[in-house]
Amino acid sequence: MNPESPEDILERPIPIDDDKAEHARLRIRRRLPGRRLDKYLHSRFPRLSRTAIQRLIKQGAITVNGETTKASYELSSGDVVDLILPPPEPREVVAEDIPLDIVYEDEHMLAINKDTGIICHPARGDQTGTIANALVFYANSLSQGEDPFRPGIVHRLDKNTTGIMLVAKTDEAHWRLSLQFERRTIQKNYIAVVHGNPHLDGDTIDAPIGIHPVVREKFAVMIRENKIDVAKNAVTYYEIGERYGDYALVKLFPKTGRTHQLRVHMSHIGHPIVGDTMYGGKVISEFDITGDGSVEPLFPHQALHAWQIKFKHPITELPMELEAPFPPPFKKLVTLLRSRTREDS
């Protein structure tokens, strides 16, 4: 049997049970130049894929000013959008009593300091031990999002990257936070310890990233001319915080949010993150730094911490600035490097 084409999928209506359907009405307060109806509704109802929204528009379950329209319709001031939506899929993530380090919380959102060694969400319903499982146990309500396995999760951190993560309790908070990420108005500040002594005190790394051509679990900087079809634009700004001779503490400000971006970019300029063996970093011990003490690794993963995030509260729109305390192994690493540097000077 031949697979369905995108056109076939759009022609197939989405079954809607009238007794369980969700009815919604949106009034557009101001014109949204260049904002297609399907894109706008996807941002407002992230639990529905854009394809699902296009199918609902095509079957007449979504109208503008009482009339059927096209997904490409450009919204104007005064438009009234009526929607008949299928009910949310039942939450399938299993609640687990996993401790969470809560940095901030109110009725709309919360922020956690993610620990190392834990992934953000399951890939399937029976997978456990993730941040999502912990959130389902902890919170009375979470946004649905577009993936039932990611309740409340607005953005992610790598398994072994620690630090600040924002979580939405309501769908409105979710789409408003997501819009800030989409528009790149959220400022994230990471701290890392890297190998070597970068020549510049600060610079911008503008290098597209794609899936590694050989190792599918990895990512790599691609040559734009030859790999434009598989590489995505990626930009990182860095500043040197402290220098320790053959190591450096760097502040990293990602302007885009590609998977493994900071790790790939620092490796690309010849200064991989300490402990990041996937991208050329080495695991180090107290003995490696001081010539004395334990030979056990300080930590067997990348020395990368999402320290600070600046954004507007999704509902009040007040400026927010949240910080996540550094994990003890990271603090010990920096303390040892500082001590060694003072002794050598």
Domain range list for the chain = 6-85, 102-182, 187-344
pLDDT digits (tens, 9 = 90+) for 242-268: 999 999 999 999 999 899 999 999 999
Among candidates 45, 27, 50, 58, which has minimal Cα distance to 85?
45
Place of tokens 């001031």: 77
Q: Give dist(CA 173, CA 341) in Å, integer.
A: 46
Q: What is the distance between the alpha carbons of residues 281 and 254, in angstroms, rounded to a whole number?
A: 20
Mean model confidence pLDDT for the chain: 89
Q: Given pLDDT bands bounded at 50, 70 and 90, which one contains residue 345?
A: low
| Of the candidate ranges 164-168, 184-188, 219-223, the one whose mean pLDDT is the lowest | 219-223
Mean pLDDT of 215-231: 71
Average pLDDT rounded to a whole number, residues 160-177: 95
- Whether 229 is catalytic is no
Q: What is the CATH superfamily name and number for domain 102-182?
A: Pseudouridine synthase (3.30.2350.10)
Question: Which of 38, 79, 158, 276 is an active site residue?
Answer: 158
Percentage, residues of the chain above pLDDT 70: 92
pLDDT confidence of 192, banded at 50, 70, 90? very high
- What pLDDT, on the 0 to 100 scale, is given for residue 228? 45
Confidence of residue 11 (pLDDT cuts 50, 70, 90): low
Q: Could you tell me whether strands 187-195 and 304-312 are parallel, antiparallel, or unpaired per DSSP bridges?
A: antiparallel
Assigned CATH topology for domain 187-344: Pseudouridine synthase (3.30.2350)
Give the model's confidence band at 89: pLDDT under 50 very low, under 70 low, under 90 confident, else very high.
low
Given a contact cutoff of 8 angstroms between Cβ atoms, the answer to whether 53 and 41 are in contact is yes
We find that the CATH architecture of domain 6-85 is Roll (3.10)
> Is it the case that residue 74 has pLDDT exceeding 50?
yes
Domains 6-85 and 102-182 share a fold: no
